[in-house]
Structure 1
């Protein structure tokens, strides 16, 4: 195990979590009850938001940093290092301020996208290596020093990074272990399917409602591991990829029936890379529906426990 990946090493128990007897381990968590999602609005329409959150360029891959509320995103707007870059917009009022480029430690002439903040001043992101190969990296935000050197997660046929495309890392902790969900074309390229890893171990295909014969891509899992959102081209979409969700009662269970998110969240455009806030009350996603640019960032909210 490379120590510079800043990850808990696999344990014997982690191996059991990956196996068929995992259901027998641990207690069953109870999923929180939430209200319905509101009709989405442009992220820059919220009070306090900068008018440069969405631009005439391609703006997407949105996710909120659970520790400071900042908005991480990918964009090919002017001022970057080439292709898609990762940008960070500070929390401002009910919205977000002017996005700032994450800098040359993160961004290169290649595409960088799907940022995902995590505990320990880390965030995961994807870097394009070739037309058919993208890998997941992790980097630390060092106090008073900025971002360190990104490190690629393990590579190999059964590892998180394969010779194919890996997208949208989504990190959470449960029962003393770290989980990383992502999608990959390693089986049946160019079709994306959803996988996960426990404590940086082997990649395993997710089971249940997230699996279909279509492309299921860019997953994001709520911080308790009991709800997932992703985009899919499965039957029931309104055009391009739409946003779907699923829940479960334990991190050891297969995912439940896929639910198509409506009320304007899914549209006839491409609706992609949805993400949930830490408390599950806000949804962020990118969409090519008519707006300010080729793709813009939208947000929707819901109540929790009836509040």
Structure 2
């Protein structure tokens, strides 16, 4: 154990001694020979880790010279090692009272003891005093800065705890084995998690049915004799990306890489190496896929990071591979710690992760950050105590509505534990919730035969006129797409040989939605495509044609739908259509008739202005005479105010 004695203080003491001034303490150079002998014996014993015997020698030294500051410092240090923290704190405080400028390291040491005693306000004071001192060890100063930030955070967090009531997911999921790392599909009906079977990590799956989770079972087609874990499931449940370690890959046998499998025709495809730039010979793990399937977040210790393990993001390229990852930057990643286990919520704006580098309660804490308007990430925010504790906290998965968090934990103080590590859920505090998200789940089929159709699905955010999501229906004609609230969306479903289908989702101003949108989408074949040229299809509603209130002036948000209708007519030059206008029952019959005609005429005029021959078009107003919903509710009136087109023979 080194004897700490700043040279500057020593020279000053010698100078004052030469001038006749006497300090209020003695040192190893100025104490008595008897005290020095006990001290030197104690230092040898301490160096050899014989701490009780060393303590006895330091106390003998102090009995010989009670003002012997070096003996006081080392006595307090040994008491701290022996776990006698209250006595150690008192010993260091006595040193600071006796010789406050003698050794700045004492401020650091007493701060550590008070940290262990959970006296975080006092610890913060002493860490700050250490940083204000001339102590010049940059490594120790960096450690002090981290302890200072953590102590200040802990003191405030303990004074202002957040609500936290964890619930065990129950015996259908949790067993005497370890279960952890839960992930769910957007509809909340499929749960995939990691469990340990015979010392090996495998995936299990459970389905929500009749108000409860079915018993978990092995995920067929994915599990192997090797470990599988740390997975992410796409919103629609069709793509699983996970971590595999020590496997042969195109890059050789690397530490950990990302692999994937797709759910097709009722089973998982053979596991494949994730193509593109994500995998390297470094460690890549803990993926999180965005709800639209175009962005992948993951943890890696690859070169170019800020610290040990950092969080990175990669974009899916048009060819389906993954592009060059970008580091998430200083607001997320720290130089002094590890960041791991990212989870990007389906709102696309809120990121959750664990870190031991940001100010927190102890080891791995859970944090969240929100994306700024410029695309960068805001400051990482700790979820608070008692969600975070002095233990390691596990990764979170947040429900679509942002209310419920799922996580794995080995905490023994949680109720209902089934094994060493179980999966729990709790209600997320308001401040940490993401923007609520709902989803659209639909089945697309031929309107005449009922057969499922593989069709292209596009959602456009109308305010930005940008594609929010693009998907394709599966073999059963189904799709699932998530929609963050706070914006309005246009849905377009298209397939060659069919009229397009449109729907509108007005979510601007929504704070949440208890029920998702579940649709049945019949696609009308184009004339001649079905072999039935006798019966024209019923009118097709254009759900994304909008007008100023009480007016026939088209709003800019209508352009997305108008352009689709224009393209339909351009691609099918034989088509002749009639534009129909309809209103709700508010107002007089005459006014509604006039308004419906003018609105139909506005669409007619727009198409003519954009090159469609007038002889291919007609328009007609129906006023309030042909409702398709109840006019007693705002939702019904909204559906009755519509524009549609029908085929002319």
- Output the TM-score relative to the length of structure 2: 0.30
- 1:288-303 to structure 2, matched below 5 A, reads 288-289=356-357, 290-303=359-372
- Hey, what's the Cα distance between the residues in 2 that align with 1:173 and 1:101? 24
Match of 1:253 among 320, 326, 329: 320
Q: Contact conserved, 2:306 with 2:330, CA < 8 A, in 1?
A: no
Q: In structure 2, do the counterparts of structure 1 residues 173 and 284 end up closer, same or farther at CA, with 3 Å as the change threshold? A: closer
Aligned to 1:98: 165
Return 5+ residue gaps in structure 2 as ranges: 1-152, 376-485, 487-649
- 1:45-56 to structure 2, matched below 5 A, reads 51=162
- Hey, what's the Cα distance between the residues in 1 that align with 2:280 and 2:317? 21
- Residue deviations 1:242-270, cap 9 Å, x none? 111101244x5211111111133112322
Match of 2:271 among 178, 197, 203: 203
- Residue deviations 1:130-182, cap 9 Å, x none? 44x211111123343x221001112xxxx4222122122211257xx811111
Match of 1:266 among 329, 333, 343: 333
Matched, 1:142 2:202: no
Structure 1 residue 121: Cα displacement: 1.2
Aligned to 1:108: 175
Q: Of Structure 1 and Structure 2, which has the larger fraction of its residues in strand?
A: 1
Q: Contact conserved, 1:141 with 1:147, CA < 8 A, in 2?
A: yes
- Hey, what's the Cα distance between the residues in 2 that align with 1:304 and 1:147? 39
Q: Contact conserved, 2:333 with 2:339, CA < 8 A, in 1?
A: yes
Q: In structure 2, do the counterparts of structure 1 residues 194 and 254 end up closer, same or farther at CA, with 3 Å as the change threshold? A: same
- 1:1-307 to structure 2, matched below 5 A, reads 51=162, 97-118=164-185, 119=187, 121-131=189-199, 133-144=200-211, 146-154=212-220, 159-172=221-234, 178-185=238-245, 187=247, 191-199=255-263, 200-250=268-318, 252-267=319-334, 268-289=336-357, 290-303=359-372
* Matched length: 209
Worse overlay, 118-127 or 101-110:
101-110
What SS is found at the alignment partner of 2:337?
coil
What SS is found at the alignment partner of 2:204?
strand
Larger radius of gyration: 2
Q: In structure 2, do the counterparts of structure 1 residues 190 and 129 end up closer, same or farther at CA, with 3 Å as the change threshold? A: farther
RMSD of aligned residue pairs (Cα, Å): 2.8
Return 5+ residue gaps in structure 1 as ranges: 1-41, 53-96
Q: In structure 2, do the counterparts of structure 1 residues 245 and 125 end up closer, same or farther at CA, with 3 Å as the change threshold? A: same
Q: Contact conserved, 1:195 with 1:205, CA < 8 A, in 2?
A: yes
What SS is found at the alignment partner of 2:314?
strand
Q: In structure 2, do the counterparts of structure 1 residues 102 and 304 end up closer, same or farther at CA, with 3 Å as the change threshold? A: farther
- Hey, what's the Cα distance between the residues in 1 that align with 2:369 and 2:188? 28
Q: In structure 2, do the counterparts of structure 1 residues 164 and 288 end up closer, same or farther at CA, with 3 Å as the change threshold? A: farther
What SS is found at the alignment partner of 2:181?
strand
- Hey, what's the Cα distance between the residues in 2 that align with 1:185 and 1:179? 19
- Residue deviations 1:206-263, cap 9 Å, x none? 011211110100111111110000101111233331111101244x521111111113
Q: In structure 2, do the counterparts of structure 1 residues 186 and 262 end up closer, same or farther at CA, with 3 Å as the change threshold? A: same
Worse overlay, 192-201 or 236-245:
236-245
Q: Contact conserved, 1:167 with 1:217, CA < 8 A, in 2?
A: no
